[in-house]
Structure 1
């Protein structure tokens, strides 16, 4: 099971950096955004389990973004805002937000609220939706319900649990670089000695198996940063 993915929409660079770091240190994958266009782009790149949404944003406000999201998505939303009055909280919740966090807030409260919202069913719904899917890339097919990888020639490739989870993580972030630190967090439940070296070994094993079809595996190394699956992914 991969770590929950959180999209953080906050226009203050310092607060965005601090909040991202706090969430990552508690095991979450974070896609930080500074504006509405960045949020929509982040949503296009893969499934999100929760959106942390600042109300006061340049251009399109968090209120309008929440309305737009709720038209076709049930992704959990937590508003974060300097406006902490009861009226503001009620408006946010009536718009469809799952919680409301007033600034300034501490790391412990932030993480507690995120965990509470995810516990109320957001992660379970998202993971259930993902588990029904079939992913295809570069001729390969991944069955999430069966946890099975099929080669372009139709053969089933034997993957360990950690290798399969790593592949799904790369597919969820296809054509985007994933830092080693994030992969370490994501693999910690599988690998008791998670480290840069263990991640490198795991990637090497997966790359070798994806090369068994007779062509190079679409996993590239971004030196000094991490790894990227360099192929478009289709979901069925």
Structure 2
């Protein structure tokens, strides 16, 4: 079963770009079906109120729970003091299985990490190139699993992505996803140095084509068992399924 661990859904309430205005799934789902992607992790678009945005994602998940997983999006600073309450609602009422946050909003906080530990959830944290954060996360929260998408930098920062590979290899609780990674040699290096058990397939849909992103995993030429880890088993293990 192929699982896309990284897809946005619902509407943001901004208008600076697609990432905070609209993340409709119609085209994504058609492309995902064609590519053979069976399940998808949904994350809200950027929003000024993530409690509201998570409710919108929850409605999409509830409409097809066999197709979607949900991660609770939080803002480490704006939601300070209420992160645990927000995540509790997401877990207990919506059935969400992870936490998402983005450095574009704010750096990750101890409160977020402690909440993830309390609920035993993985954290998908876009560090936007600040991959040194992995050292702090790994050393202070070794019992929490962190997925750093885009191999550490959607901006295609070669030095950041290269540095993240070292963290993947050294720290048992640091993972990466493949969404939007253009430098194929770095994906190859990540698997070679850290192992297939440390990389997850993600597309960053609906804006990137899931079939194109999936093709990169196929081109890695992994053994069938290793490919199965990247394409879904790693995600299922991290969410406890």
Q: Which has the higher contact order (CA 8 A, sep 6+)?
A: 2
- The structure having more radius of gyration, on CA atoms, is 1
Q: If the TM-score is normalised by the length of the shorter chain, which range does it land in? A: 0.3 to 0.5
TM, length-normalised to structure 2: 0.34
